[in-house]
Each structure stands twice: as structure tokens, then as C-alpha cells.
Structure 1
Amino acid sequence: MAFSDPSWVDRVLLSGPDDEACLDLGRPVNRGELRLSVAAAQRALTAAGLGEGGTAALRLAPSPGLITVLLAVWRCGGQAVLLDHRLTDAEVGRAVTMLRPRFLLTTPALVPTDLAELPRTPADEDGGVVAVPLPGGRPSATGHVVVQLSSGSTGRPKAIARTAADLERELRAYAMVSGFPGRGERVVLLSSMVHVLGLVGGLLNALYAGAELVLPSRLTPLGILDAVARRDAPTTVIGVPFHAELLAGRTDPPKLPHLRRMIVAGEMLRPGLRELFTQRYGIPLGTMYGMTETGVIATDLTGTGHPWLEPVHGMEPSVAGGELHLRVPESPYLGDPDPTRWSEGLLHTRDAASLDPVTGRVAVHGRRDSQVSIGGLKVDLTEVEQTLTALPGVDEAVVLFADGAIEAYVAGHAAGPERLRELLAERLAGYKLPRRMSVLPALPRTTTGKLQRSADTLRAAADAHR
């Protein structure tokens, strides 16, 4: 097995003038300081036994430690398995059992209870990260440098692996997107760095393109706006629609002359959010479409093309039977590929889409499994969900099909399910109306900020509220 040449880290991510500001994690960090920290972490990991082909699971909160240890794992020639620090010990245990990394890199406070008695050694120069050797851990059987878990919004997460070449291709694609942050600019990152948007579109692109990456100390409207106002360089905020909702909820936002745009991805925007956000801040709310399997696929950073998105360089979208397909030479999934997800060089996204034959732009309409049959009549659950979220007083909604019926879960409406059903009946045919409607103070979300779409999870939340 040919492992990735670890020199790609220095060539792609760490090159640049020593005094160039690259990170703001509570204090400014320049490239020279980052290189020294990464080199120190690499020495610590090498001493712990991580080398070429080594595998390490990272369970770390957004921090200098996460960034330096991740880059150090790659510099050692290792494979990084990224775990969200908010996962439970049981979820971490399932991931470790499935992927068999040789080390867990985490803070002492986040070492799972069942591993508390195992030896541990420092994994960075400050000693804030420790390396815990895992029984039964195996070296990498592939040349992938990173393994990520899908969001799990519809069920058990999938293990998705990417090579250094995959990451470089995506970074080159970002470089060709007009308006994406570059040298001399700042990125206020709200998305998790262990998931694809925060990792590549946020952290890695900032290092590659020469932008300064800023992590707010608090993911509240005030904390985010304070991070934007910290310096006067052109600033872009990157997050998910939930973060745009938080900011748009401010009726009196401060003047931020250096804020140039916000970019969101991960879910469809509710009707009216784009216009409300621009009204509040006077800047575009841009959108991106992508997948953990491929990274960014298409963008509309100006917020004017809705619903059409421009495919990024290197993507070859096609539509067959109403489903979006992408040309991906090898399966991105670890283990035997599921032919319903990837076959013969095509990734089946399971997203419903249209392709403009003249411009090549793509419009994504939601999940293909949102098309259901009720009494022989076709119902698009995305249409029902978008109609619900457009109703006055509705903050968010999830509509799904379970046990032969449409169910709706709504947050933010004080009038109750019966009034909601009346309002919905004025806008949709009777066969499209949910049989069951639950109104909650807030809907459960995944660790990435996406709305949960598991029927069991939503029913449990509704039962707990009742």
C-alpha cells in the first residue's frame, strides 16, 4: 500500500511567510508559530509510536490542539479519523470498533470511561492532548489521509475516506470560485472542523489560500458578531442555515462594514430567510451544495441564482431519473461499496435535481426519498416542509414518512398543531397534509447543526416534550 507523501502538508497548507496571520483562536497565530507547533506535535506523536500508515482517531473540541495535532498526524504519514467531540462515549466506542484506529487523540477530560485505565502520553507540546493506544488498533489499509463520518441525520453515520489528492482537488476548486475568501481576508468559521465544510471549506482552505481563520469563543449571535468586528479585514462567515437563522433573528444588528457575505451549506434554506438576512445585514447570504463524499459540488455565493447553483471546477454532475449523479472514479466509502450509492464510477447522491442543459447549472430539490405515495398519489415531502416553514411563526420543521403516514415536527409556533393544520390546508391538497403533527420548543439537531430526520429521534423528542 502506497501511503500519501506527508510533504503535501508543508507544500499545500503550511507554506507562506512566517509573519502572515493565519489563525485567530482567541489570540493571533502566524504561520511561523503554527509550523513550530505542528513540528512539536509531530515529535510527540512519533515518540508515542505513530508513523507512516498509522491511524489515529481525534476527539477534540475546536481548538489550537485540534488543528496542530491533525496537521501533525498527516505530517507523520498517518490517517486521521475525525470524531465530533460532542459524541457520547457509546458513539465513540462504535466508531472505534468499526474503524479500528491505533490511537485515540483527545483531552484527558474526553477519554471515554472504558479507556480511562489505559496508558496515555502527551500528543502536543502543551500536554493538552493525550495519545491513548487502543487495543486491536490496525494500520491503514488504504492511502486515505482522512476518514469522516456522515452527519447521520437520517440514521447511522457512514465512514467516508478521502486522499490527500482529493483534498487538494477540492482546494483548487475553491480557488476558482469567485468571491470565496483568499489572501488578506478573514473567515469566521461556525461549522465543525471535523465535518467537510468546516474542515476543507474553512480550515484547510484558509491555510491554502492565505486567509485568516477565526473561531468565535461562543456560537451565539453576540459571540459571532464580536468575532466579525475584531479586525477590519474583509470577512466572510461560513456556517449552516441554523447559524444564519441565529443572526437574522437580531432585529438591531451592529454596522459591520467589513462583513462581505455569509455562506451556508448542509440544508435547504427556509423560504424568506435569504431576504431577511440581507435586509438585516445588507450582504448576500450565499449557499453551497456538497457532500462529505466529494466536498463542495456547486455554489451560489451571490444569493441571486436560487434555485440554480454553478458547479465548481472538476465536478461533472448529471441527472438520471431525476437523481443527481457525480463522476467519482473510486468509491469514497470504506469497506465494500454499496452499489446503490456508488457503481461504475458514478456516485448516486440520492438527491433530486434538475440540470440546465444550456448553462450547466444544477438545482437541488431535496432528497429523492422525500417522494412518497399516499393512496396512489405522489407527495413531495420537501414541498410540504417548505410550505410549513413559510407559515408565520414557524421557525423550523421536519416532515417525514413513517409507518405509512406523513408526520410533521414543528418548532416556534404557539398556536398548536390544529391551527397549523388549518393554515397548511389552505395551501396544500388534503392528501399532502401530515396525519400526525407535533409542535416542540426546538427540534433536535445533529452535531453538525443539521436537523435530525430520524423518526425514532423525533418521536422521542415529541414524547419527552409531552
Structure 2
Amino acid sequence: MNIVERIFRDADRKAIALIGEGQEVTYGRLIEMTDAAAQRIATSRAMRVGLDCPNGIAHVVLALAIVRTGKCLVPIAGELSARERERVVRETGVGAIVDGNGEIREVPVAPDLGFDQAALAALNPAFIRFSSGTTGTSKGVVLSHESLLARVTAANRGLGIGPADRIVWILPMAHHFAVSIMLYLLHGATTIIENSHLAEDVLTAATRHGGTVLYGAPFHHALLASEGSGRAWPTLRLAVSTAAALPPGTAEVFAQRFGLPLCQGLGIIEVGLPLLNLQRPREKPTSVGCPLPDYRAEVRGEGELFLRGPGMFDAYLHPWRPRVEVLEQGWFRTGDLARIDEDGDIHLLGRSHSVINVAGLKCFPEEIEAILCEVPEVKRARVTGKPNPRFGAVPVAEIVPRDPANPPKISALASYCRGALARYKVPVEFKLVESVPLTPSGKIQR
């Protein structure tokens, strides 16, 4: 089974699939563009193809083309540093990279990839994306064509996307594509692509094209709610908030501005979209709601959330761990601490791991600390998330100098991080300290 072929098989070729960049692309035209790109991509011998392309119609076309050829799509986010990009390419064994112009560049693949290529091929892989670290470290997550179809079908039992819908798209496609763009296309909807993050531009596109669904992060919702024109959005029927915790203030001002509550959901690359607050978004704006019909949720032990349902990921790539070795009798351990109230609504209380969520993008203290400790003058570093009203959280660093009499310069630390890390991972503050707290085993205390 090929999920792109399934999408195109059922498509109304005259209906509008994409709006953006001053044009409307019908499903028929999207099929033609995808077929043309797929013919070029099929000439590569690579089985895993990286896509290095910004948001836009080209990203959708090229992503679909890679998957339609039977090759496995590996998104390469534009904000990654050269070092981070190299890691994604190396650990996924990408053999070719396609850029935004559709140009293909072959890449040598290391002989020892750390995973069995035959075992991977047997899964019918469609998509590999690095996780947000629900299990403590970021790793390649493998999704097969079958798993993708199962999860987008299950998610839409809650979202209810159909041919009459026009979804306003503002999230980065390199991070959000499977249970979003593919879901919309599979169900015959139109995706309105707005590359500007200015609230006035997003609202103009939404109202001009009759947007019915908004899918974004709290960062985007806060900007839209504070947009100064006072314009209404009468066609909006569903506003989904995901990728980061929804602040109560953002939920309140959005509902006041547009007369519609934000429905917070929990999306996990290993699981899909299992939770969405559809029943009580006004009364409980910070809840992620109840499980969608095909999913189940449990809180176990000291309050950790476990999930079960269709479309679970197929394997962790590096190191190789098939799904059966990760799930606990079919349940996925999320790493989220949660409680379930008397109505069955789920409230997230925090993380059992240390991931920092910056405007919907996730980074890991351990990764940033490792970079800082490459600086010779740094003995130890501890990175934590600092609450931020605009971005949700931002990384800040405590630095223990190797020689207190000759500490590293803050400007040099910031410069080094900017050269090695994506911009959103660079600490906004550096504080020189004598020591950082350690656990009895000598690890940094979070």
C-alpha cells in the first residue's frame, strides 16, 4: 500500500487542494506536479531521501513525490545548524537530498548505519522524523504507509475534516506533515498555506479564502488574538492548539476575539493525535480532553500517561528498536505526567523528562549542554527552560568555569552555540556559577 496513491485515487481532481503563493492548485494539478517530481526522484538509487525545502506548495509536492516513488521521506528542517543536519542525514542513512527547486543531490551513505536496512525495508517505510524526545533523547521515528493511513483516519474521527474545509496552515512542514497535510489531502480538504507569521497576513489569508479550520501553536494563537484590526473570522469552525501547552490567557483572549474556543490537543510523533479537547474547551481550556474514539489513555505509577491506539510508530531507527520492543503490551509510555478528572478529561502536569518547548519547537538540555562543554573553559553546564510569555519557554544556561579566575566570555559562548545549534536552541541567558546540583550518581539534577 502507498498512502499517496490512496490519496490521489480518491481525490476530486477539480477540487482545490492548495492555496498559496498567489495561486490555487487543484487536486488534478497536484497529481500532475507530483508525478513529474516523482519521475525525477525515481532516478535516484537512494531508498531514504531527505527533503530540504521551506514551507510552501513545493514542499507538499516534493514530499508527496518522494513517498509516491516508494522511497522514505526524511524532512530536514531549515532551522537546523550544519552539524545538526549532518547528524540527521548520517543517522537516517539518507542517500539523496532534494532541495526546494526539486534538484537532487546524491549523498554517500556510511557502511555501518546502526540499523538493519532489510528490517527497515520490510516495514514499508514512508516517513522518518526525529522525535521530540518523549523517551529522553531525540531519535529517528519510522512510520510505515500503513501506520500513516491508520493514524490519519483515527485522528479525523475527531477533527471531522472534509471536502468543505479550508485549513489555515502556519506550522513548519518539516515538523508537522503526517497527521496534518496528509490528513487534509486524504479527506479532500483545501490547505491554505500562509508563510508569513504576521497576524494580519494570516488573518487576511484566512478571511479571504474562507478558512474553516486553524491548526497552530499557542504562539500563533496569541498573535492572532492580539491582531489590531478587530476583524472577525466568521467561517472559522474549529481552532486546534498543539505543539506546546496552551496558556489560559491565550485561550481566553482568542475566544473573546473570535467567539470560538481553542481546542487543545496532544500530538506525539510516535502515536499521532490521540487526545483533543472537543467536549469542554470553554470550561477547561488547558485540558487536552478525552481520547479520540479509537484511542485509550491510562495514568500509571507516579502519574505517567500511557496511550494506546491505531497507527503507532513502527520502529526507532538509531539504535534500532522495533515497535514491539518499545511498547508495553501495546501501550506507549509518553513521558508526560498527567491526571484524569471526573469527566475523563486529561490534564498534563509536566514532563518526566527535561525537553524544553520553544514556541512549539522542542529542544533537549542534554544536547545544548554537550555543545557548551566543548568550550575548553567550561567544566560543566546545566540548561533549563525559563517560562516566556511569548514563546512558552526559552533555554537558559548555568556555566561552571574550569578556571574560576579565567571564566569563558558570555559572548563567546553565545557565538559558539549559534554556530552549532538551531537558533531556537541557543540559550537566551548565560549565568556563571560555582557549581550545579548533581544527583547521587553524579548526573545533573533537573
For 1:5-154, list aligned pairs within 5 A: 5-6=1-2, 8-13=3-8, 15-26=10-21, 27-50=23-46, 54-107=47-100, 128-136=101-109, 141-142=119-120, 143=123, 144-151=125-132
* 1:264–1:184 Cα change, 3 Å: same
Per-residue deviation, residues 263-301 of structure 1 (Å, max 9, x unmatched): 110111123211111111212211111211111010014
The match for 2:177 is 199
Equivalent pair of 1:103/1:137 in contact (CA under 8 Å): no
Please identify, of 359-368 and 134-143, the stretch whose mean Cα deviation from structure 2 is larger: 134-143
* 1:149–1:94 Cα change, 3 Å: same
Q: Which amino acid aligns with 1:20?
A: A
The match for 1:366 is 350
User: In 2, distance between residues paired with 1:33 and 1:242?
Assistant: 33
Aligned partner of 1:319 among 275, 299, 317: 299
Equivalent pair of 1:24/1:215 in contact (CA under 8 Å): yes
Equivalent pair of 1:79/1:140 in contact (CA under 8 Å): no
SS for the counterpart of 2:252 is helix
Unaligned runs of 5+ in 1: 108-127, 371-380, 383-397, 414-449
Equivalent pair of 2:55/2:195 in contact (CA under 8 Å): no
1:48 is displaced (CA, Å) by 3.3
User: In 1, distance between residues paired with 2:179 and 2:8?
Assistant: 13
Q: Which amino acid aligns with 2:12?
A: P
Equivalent pair of 1:81/1:146 in contact (CA under 8 Å): yes
Per-residue deviation, residues 349-369 of structure 1 (Å, max 9, x unmatched): 11011235x754432222124
Q: Which amino acid aligns with 1:29?
A: V
1:104 is displaced (CA, Å) by 0.9
* 1:140–1:102 Cα change, 3 Å: farther
Please identify, of 75-84 and 200-209, the stretch whose mean Cα deviation from structure 2 is larger: 200-209
Aligned partner of 1:277 among 254, 271, 275: 254
Equivalent pair of 2:267/2:275 in contact (CA under 8 Å): yes
Q: Which amino acid aligns with 1:132?
A: R
1:249 is displaced (CA, Å) by 2.1
Q: Taking CA–CA contacts closer than 8 Å with sequence separation of 6 or more, which of the two structures ends up with the larger relative contact order?
A: 2
Number of equivalenced pairs: 366
Please identify, of 186-195 and 404-413, the stretch whose mean Cα deviation from structure 2 is larger: 404-413
The match for 1:443 is none
* 1:152–1:262 Cα change, 3 Å: same
User: In 2, distance between residues paired with 1:38 and 1:367?
Assistant: 40
* 1:463–1:362 Cα change, 3 Å: closer
Equivalent pair of 1:326/1:347 in contact (CA under 8 Å): yes
User: In 2, distance between residues paired with 1:203 and 1:137?
Assistant: 32
Q: Which amino acid aligns with 2:251?
A: R
Equivalent pair of 2:339/2:346 in contact (CA under 8 Å): yes
1:156 is displaced (CA, Å) by 5.6
1:90 is displaced (CA, Å) by 1.7
Please identify, of 281-290 and 338-347, the stretch whose mean Cα deviation from structure 2 is larger: 338-347
Per-residue deviation, residues 406-447 of structure 1 (Å, max 9, x unmatched): 96735469xxxxxxxxxxxxxxxxxxxxxxxxxxxxxxxxxx
SS for the counterpart of 1:92 is helix
The match for 1:409 is 386
Equivalent pair of 1:331/1:342 in contact (CA under 8 Å): no
Equivalent pair of 1:287/1:303 in contact (CA under 8 Å): yes
User: In 1, distance between residues paired with 2:172 and 2:385?
Assistant: 28
Unaligned runs of 5+ in 2: 112-116, 358-362, 370-379, 391-421, 432-446
* 1:351–1:154 Cα change, 3 Å: closer
1:42 is displaced (CA, Å) by 1.4
* 1:275–1:166 Cα change, 3 Å: same
* 1:406–1:204 Cα change, 3 Å: closer
The match for 1:426 is none
1:203 is displaced (CA, Å) by 0.8
* 1:272–1:88 Cα change, 3 Å: same
What is the TM-score of this pair, normalised by structure 1? 0.70
Aligned partner of 2:206 among 220, 224, 228: 228
Aligned partner of 1:174 among 143, 155, 163: 155
SS for the counterpart of 1:304 is coil
User: In 2, distance between residues paired with 1:330 and 1:11?
Assistant: 20
Q: Which amino acid aligns with 2:11?
A: G
Q: Which amino acid aligns with 1:463?
A: F
Q: Which amino acid aligns with 2:86?
A: G
Q: Which amino acid aligns with 1:87?
A: L
Q: Which amino acid aligns with 2:107?
A: L
Per-residue deviation, residues 202-253 of structure 1 (Å, max 9, x unmatched): 3111101111001113111011111102223x51111111111111222443
For 1:303-318, list aligned pairs within 5 A: 303-304=281-282, 306=284, 307=287, 309-318=289-298
* 1:333–1:223 Cα change, 3 Å: same
Identity within the alignment, %: 23
User: In 2, distance between residues paired with 1:14 and 1:206?
Assistant: 14
1:175 is displaced (CA, Å) by 2.5
User: In 2, distance between residues paired with 1:300 and 1:12?
Assistant: 27
Equivalent pair of 2:307/2:333 in contact (CA under 8 Å): yes
The match for 2:240 is 263
Q: Which amino acid aligns with 1:347?
A: F
Q: Which amino acid aligns with 2:339?
A: S
What is the TM-score of this pair, normalised by structure 2? 0.73
SS for the counterpart of 1:101 is coil
